[in-house]
Chain A
Amino acid sequence: MAGFDKVVKTYEEAMAGLEDGMTVIAGGFGLCGIPEGLIAQIKTMGTKDLTFVSNNCGVDDFGLGILLQGKQIKKMISSYVGENAEFERQYLAGELEVELTPQGTLAEKMRAGGAGIPAFFTATGYGTPVAEGKETREFDGRPYVLEESITGEFAIVRAWKADRYGNCIYRDTAMNFNPMAATAGKITVVEAEEIVEPGELNPTEIHTPGIYVNRVIQGTFEKRIERLTLSK
């Protein structure tokens, strides 16, 4: 790699340095906007005891769900899980730890983590099991819960277009958690549908500036649909 060129040729290079016990922040909502090839690479590597911060955990044979088969995931920090039978089995057997986090709080934890803010107050979850053991404080007569931000050793992200410098644009609702995930990894890896030369993306339209991104790899995507619904 020279200068700002962050493109790597192989998935091995893309995920180099991932070790047992690390925390990985993953973009995606359901199966939409997930970095499919990077997840497959983690499966190939067999890295264990990983903590994943991701809104969901895929399905049995796709998305993060494929890492459950080899018990590579120790803990999930998510807002909604259990769309897969193996997840349910491991969770009920006590083999998998789950920290359920409200979706907006999860997004803000990533955003704050990437922005150097260690914690924030939110009204979300006050008076519910989510707030148990957490500091609360009133502002203008309303109670709020102190939530700590999240960072990870790695962040894995799917972009639509990325340039060699790591500037990224996302497509439609495949954006979701990806921009926040991109900011919150010590090493952020972007798997892009298309890699372009610097200057080809309009600077005004860039969602994730390259400063957050360490590696960029060209991906190929199945883009599986979780719930196909058609107008009648």
Chain B
Amino acid sequence: MGLTREQIAMRVAQELQDGYYVNLGIGIPTLVANYVPEGMEVMLQSENGLLGMGPYPTEDQVDADMINAGKETVTAATGAAIFNSAESFAMIRGGHVDLTVLGAFEVDQNGNIASWMIPGKLVKGMGGAMDLVAGAQNIVVTMTHADKKGNSKLLKQCSLPLTGVNCIKKIVTDLAVMEIRDGRFHLIERAPGVSVEEIKQKTEGDLVVEGDVPEMTFA
């Protein structure tokens, strides 16, 4: 049994540090905000121009002028700042955001990521994903380890058009925490009850397994 979406988010939340500015992508990454450890302060950046994203509004607080990058209505947290799109991407591209979490279709052992385009299907666009992966020093990708047919998404080489090259160093999947170093995947942690064998079998790229690989722990 692999992790649920919520558990993936819980594991990613362990990467947060007090005082971090964090950009969370759409989907599982968004859930990470629910698991910020107690007593820790993080500030969420939304690339449409909000640093310090608060919770969804109550019915009374709803304001069409306050949305996040997913076009959902949101509120501003205490101490938030609002700015234009060029400024927003200056902080992203300039490497000022401490942690970026985003989803992907595929990641390969050279740190390349494909997350925006499946040839033959309608292409809606990359939004801010290319800027985020190009600018961030610290990126965590969340994804399922394999697709529904069991095909690995952790590859020797991405097959889909890329979002960015040589930029991914850490991945949290439903089965494992992996790091990418020296052109290979390294198994860091296993999901509870998931065997190294299963992870090996579902990782197409070169995989390094050193010693006893610990299970993830959730507080």
Q: A227, B86: Cβ atoms under 8 Å?
A: no
In the bound complex, residues from chain B placing their C-beta under 8 Å from that of A129 are: 117, 161-162
Q: A230, B124: Cβ atoms under 8 Å?
A: no
Take A30-B67, A226-B67 as given contacts and tell me if A104 and B131 are in contact as well, using a CB distance cutoff of 8 Å: yes
Name the contact of B165 in the complex, choosing from A29, A82, A92, A128 (C-beta under 8 A). Answer: A128
Among residues 174 to 232 in chain A, which have CB atoms less than 8 Å away from a CB atom of chain B?
174-180, 207, 223-231
In this assembly, does B49 line the interface, its C-beta being within 8 Å of a C-beta of chain A?
yes
Residue of A nearest to B123 (CB): A100
Which of B53-61, B98-106, B188-196 lies at the interface?
B53-61
Q: A176, B123: Cβ atoms under 8 Å?
A: no
Residue of A nearest to B117 (CB): A129
Q: A173, B65: Cβ atoms under 8 Å?
A: yes
Q: A128, B162: Cβ atoms under 8 Å?
A: yes
In this assembly, does A122 line the interface, its C-beta being within 8 Å of a C-beta of chain B?
yes
Interface size band for B: 35 or more
Among residues 35 to 83 in chain A, which have CB atoms less than 8 Å away from a CB atom of chain B?
55, 78-83
Among residues 156 to 186 in chain A, which have CB atoms less than 8 Å away from a CB atom of chain B?
170-180
In this assembly, does B109 line the interface, its C-beta being within 8 Å of a C-beta of chain A?
no
In the bound complex, residues from chain A placing their C-beta under 8 Å from that of B131 are: 102-105, 124
Q: B125, A104: Cβ atoms under 8 Å?
A: no
Q: B126, A79: Cβ atoms under 8 Å?
A: yes
In this assembly, does B6 line the interface, its C-beta being within 8 Å of a C-beta of chain A?
no
Residue of B nearest to A80 (CB): B125
In the bound complex, residues from chain B placing their C-beta under 8 Å from that of A104 are: 47, 85-86, 88-89, 92-93, 128, 130-131, 135
Say whether chain B's binding surface is mostly helix, strand, loop, or mixed.
loop
In the bound complex, residues from chain A placing their C-beta under 8 Å from that of B58 are: 230-231
Among residues 77 to 95 in chain A, which have CB atoms less than 8 Å away from a CB atom of chain B?
78-83, 88, 91-92
Q: A174, B65: Cβ atoms under 8 Å?
A: yes
Take A30-B71, A173-B67, A227-B71 as given contacts and tell me if A124 and B93 are in contact as well, using a CB distance cutoff of 8 Å: yes
In the bound complex, residues from chain B placing their C-beta under 8 Å from that of A180 are: 84-86
In this assembly, does B134 line the interface, its C-beta being within 8 Å of a C-beta of chain A?
yes
Take A179-B84, A207-B84 as given contacts and tell me if A29 and B67 are in contact as well, using a CB distance cutoff of 8 Å: yes
Interface 1/0 per residue, B75-91 and A, CB below 8 Å: 01000001111101100
Residue of A nearest to B165 (CB): A127
Among residues 164 to 187 in chain B, which have CB atoms less than 8 Å away from a CB atom of chain A?
164-166
How long is the Cα–Cα vector from A103 to B165 in the complex, in angstroms? 18
Residue of B nearest to A76 (CB): B125
Among residues 109 to 164 in chain B, which have CB atoms less than 8 Å away from a CB atom of chain A?
112, 117, 122-131, 134-135, 161-164
In this assembly, does A130 line the interface, its C-beta being within 8 Å of a C-beta of chain B?
yes
In this assembly, does B73 line the interface, its C-beta being within 8 Å of a C-beta of chain A?
yes
B174 to A: closest C-beta gap in Å:
25
In the bound complex, residues from chain A placing their C-beta under 8 Å from that of B127 are: 79-80, 102-103
A230 to B: closest C-beta gap in Å:
5
How long is the Cα–Cα vector from A174 to B135 in the complex, in angstroms? 24
Q: B84, A178: Cβ atoms under 8 Å?
A: yes
Interface 1/0 per residue, B26-48 and A, CB below 8 Å: 00000000000000000000111
Shortest 5 CB-CB contacts between residues of A and residues of B: A104-B89, A104-B131, A127-B165, A223-B64, A80-B125
Question: Could you list 17 examples of A-B contacts with CB < 8 Å?
Answer: A29-B71, A31-B64, A82-B123, A91-B122, A102-B128, A102-B130, A102-B131, A103-B127, A104-B128, A106-B85, A108-B86, A124-B130, A125-B164, A130-B130, A170-B84, A228-B72, A229-B74
In addition to A127-B162, A178-B84, 13 A-B residue pairs with Cβ atoms within 8 Å of each other are: A31-B64, A32-B67, A79-B125, A80-B124, A82-B124, A103-B47, A105-B89, A122-B134, A127-B164, A172-B63, A174-B65, A180-B84, A229-B73
